[in-house]
Amino acid sequence: MAKTDVLTLAILGILETSPLHGYQIRKQLGGELGPFRALSYGSLYPALKRMVGEGLIGADAPEESTRGSRRSKISYRLTDAGKARLHEELANAGTSSWEDDAFDVRFSMFDRTDSVTRLRILEGRRTRLAQRLEDAGLNLRRVRERQDGYTAELHRHGLETVEREVEWLDRLIDEERSALGGKPSSAGADN
Amino acid sequence: MAKTDVLTLAILGILETSPLHGYQIRKQLGGELGPFRALSYGSLYPALKRMVGEGLIGADAPEESTRGSRRSKISYRLTDAGKARLHEELANAGTSSWEDDAFDVRFSMFDRTDSVTRLRILEGRRTRLAQRLEDAGLNLRRVRERQDGYTAELHRHGLETVEREVEWLDRLIDEERSALGGKPSSAGADN
DNA sequence: TTCGTCATGTAATGGGTTACATGATTAC
DNA sequence: GTAATCATGTAACCCATTACATGACGAA
């Protein structure tokens, strides 16, 4: 199975709804708070080019006609191969750790993801965060020992942020579970 | 003024307290939740080498003696030039946007930073986050329009996280201000 | 004696940004 | 006419990771 990097996935996702120019893609990606808040054209255009080469997307340059040399707007759209890849990814969504970067992108496509996969993604993320929390907890003693109040405060705030995200995930997981018809399960108990 | 990247700054900061091996540096940096949670040796050792070349740190290999070919533990310590650079950075701390990456590292050295600089760093960070919040707010309407509940929820959670960090900063800023003897100022009012 | 951890390093590669270069279109 | 924004692209660079290679030391 071909591997799909996060940017590719995000582009596939954003183009599924409708064809867009590179410029528009960037704007829409920039709207999210996520990893592509400030994606540069130096990343975007080469990526689009590559994806065209791989057959995932098609580039529609409107009317090269009347031999105007003017390089003009190009509309990118998903090809069938692109759709196939996207749906493969949508059904797939590993629990592997690289998924951490992709979480936002995956989440933003939840409306096109089946609920079992959604649950898998949410739980994967939760597990990784809980692990991080645990690792950080082991350092807490050490941090307190070298007492520097500011460092401790930074650490505390970091932990708090992650804890809150775990709570958020727990809420979402519960919602997914009950929507799935199951009993809510004792989420949040193992923390 | 020579520019100092975040990693260099972090290393300078961690070596000020006491000399350490590369391995120990990595462990200590890994303890934080910040940018170097999982710094690789492939980054660390070349950086140390470079810093030795720049004269910022010195490498003490214990007793190359008795011509044993054994490459052994190397202790890195700050040179006078390294101390000078660190203090320069400590007093300096811009409000420029690259500072965003460096925030955690700067903060972790607050016990060695004067309170005016601390305030400048905290306010700089707050301003940049508030800006981000504002930008994201403009997109809120658009996000709501394309209604997808999950995307909206992701957005909402992102905003909430940033808002909380702003509140945290406000608290710290107030504390710094009152420690400075000033009146607390109406922090938080311009949000 | 073997496993885990301490310890140092290089080469290949990846994935991004910055700076640069160009030009069309729209609004004032 | 001129400024802002839309729009596309390349080249140079930066900084990090991964995979690899090596080896010491202590404990079971």
Cβ-contact B25, B76 below 8 angstroms: yes
Of A33, A136, A143, the CB nearest to B155: A33
Identify the segments of chain B with pLDDT beneath 50: 65-69, 186-191
Give me the CA A166–C1' C3 separation in Å, rounded.
35
With an 8 Å Cβ cutoff, are A158 and B33 in contact? yes
> Looking at the complex, does the CB of residue B155 fall below 8 Å from at least one CB of chain A?
yes
Cβ–Cβ contacts within 10 Å for residue B74, how many?
18
> Is strand C less than 7 A from the beta carbon of B71?
yes
Structure confidence at residue A63 (pLDDT):
56
Which mean pLDDT values do the consecutive 10-residue runs of chain A (191 residues) have? 86 95 92 85 96 95 53 89 94 75 92 93 92 76 70 91 97 94 52 38
Q: Which nucleotides of C are covered by protein (CB under 7 A)?
A: 6-12, 14-20, 23-25
Q: Which residue of A has its CA nearest to B29?
A: A139
Q: Which residues contact B81 (CB under 8 A, 6 or more apart)?
A: B54, B55, B56
pTM for this predicted structure = 0.88
Structure confidence at residue B145 (pLDDT):
63
Euclidean distance between CA atoms A191 and A134, whole angstroms: 9
> Looking at the complex, does the CB of residue A33 fall below 8 Å from at least one CB of chain B?
yes
> Looking at the complex, does the CB of residue A38 fall below 8 Å from at least one CB of chain B?
no
Euclidean distance between CA atoms A166 and A170, whole angstroms: 6
Q: Which residue of A has its CA nearest to B103?
A: A154
- Contact list in A for residue B168 (CB cut-off 8 A) is 157
Euclidean distance between CA atoms B138 and A34, whole angstroms: 16
- Give the nucleotide at minimum CA-to-C1' distance from B98: C17
Q: Which two tokens stand for residue B27?
A: 């462990």
Backbone CA torsion sign across A45, A51, A52, A57: negative
Structure confidence at residue A145 (pLDDT):
63
- Number of H-type helices and E-type strands within chain B: 7, 3
Structure confidence at residue B131 (pLDDT):
87
